[in-house]
Structure 1
């Protein structure tokens, strides 16, 4: 009977050791993946910050926006010009011709204050 008990506990110890080792390996892999993701984010942020100057040489702030036409209405995009931030109920047809032309190319606004000022001026 002692031989069976020793064998049973040996197998139990071996299985427990394998489970602990497997958990440790998967935990270390998860940590490595998180570090790699964090490094990728940092590199992306660094590359964005190096590109933060406009053609005129002025600095571009973090909260810069572009206004463009989307389905006949004014849409607000983030500073990359492709990520939609917000849609408005401001119809492009109700704007002056000059502003309509500018919207086709995109109107750059360098702050949230400028954005809200524009929307306030042209909303009814």
Structure 2
């Protein structure tokens, strides 16, 4: 009688292991497909951004300028559209000089990446 129960128990364990393997494979394949889809969408977005840059005689693109703005007491760097964040900083708005705070309140214009990183380097703690 014991061998009858042990064979049943062994077969139930085997079925459970097989079911868990199939469930894992299913979730893995679904996650892999989702990651590939996101990667493809990201590539398409980057291609669209590259094609949307405006070239002038001096070969400057519209993405070459930035705006500094205050969000929740911190300085956030935005692209030229003032909607897309470029970088979140840990620079406290209240710790800046009054003149600079007024400029940032209105959206301080930064012309180049070098100028932006110079500002961030000077005011980061």
TM-score (norm. length: structure 1): 0.60
For 1:41-78, what per-residue CA distance to the aligned partner results, in whole angstroms no more than 9, with x for missing partners? 11111111111115x464327653136799xxxx8532
> For residues 13 and 108 of structure 1, do their structure 2 counterparts lie closer, same or farther at Cα, with a shift above 3 Å needed?
same
Q: Is the 8 A contact 1:63 1:112 kept in 2?
A: no
| Greater CA drift, 43-52 or 60-69 | 60-69
Mapped contact 1:65–1:77 kept (Cα < 8 A)? yes
Structure 2: which 5+ runs fail to align?
none
Residue equivalent to 2:48: 47
- Note if contact 1:63-1:110 (Cα within 8 Å) is conserved in structure 2: yes
Q: Which residue of 2 aligns with 1:99?
A: none
Gaps of 5+ in 1: 94-102
Q: CA deviation at 1:112?
A: 2.5
Q: Which residue of 2 is the match for residue 25 of structure 1?
A: 26
Check 1:53–1:115 CA distance in 2 against 1; reply closer, same or farther (3 A cut).
farther
Which residue in the other structure is 1:11 paired with? 12
Q: Paired residue for 1:109?
A: 111
Aligned length: 104
Using the size of structure 2 for normalisation, the TM-score is: 0.59
Is the Cα–Cα contact under 8 Å of residues 66 and 116 in structure 2 kept in the other structure?
Answer: no
How big is each residue's C-alpha offset from its partner over 1:55-108, in whole Å with a ceiling of 9 and x where there is no partner? x464327653136799xxxx8532332237566641548xxxxxxxxx78x846
Judging changes above 3 Å, is the alpha-carbon distance between structure 1 residues 80 and 112 closer, same or farther for their aligned structure 2 residues? farther
Shift of 1:22: 0.3
Q: Does 1:78 align with 2:82?
A: no
Give RMSD over aligned pairs: 3.7
User: Counterparts of 1:50 and 1:18 in 2: how far apart (Å)?
Assistant: 48
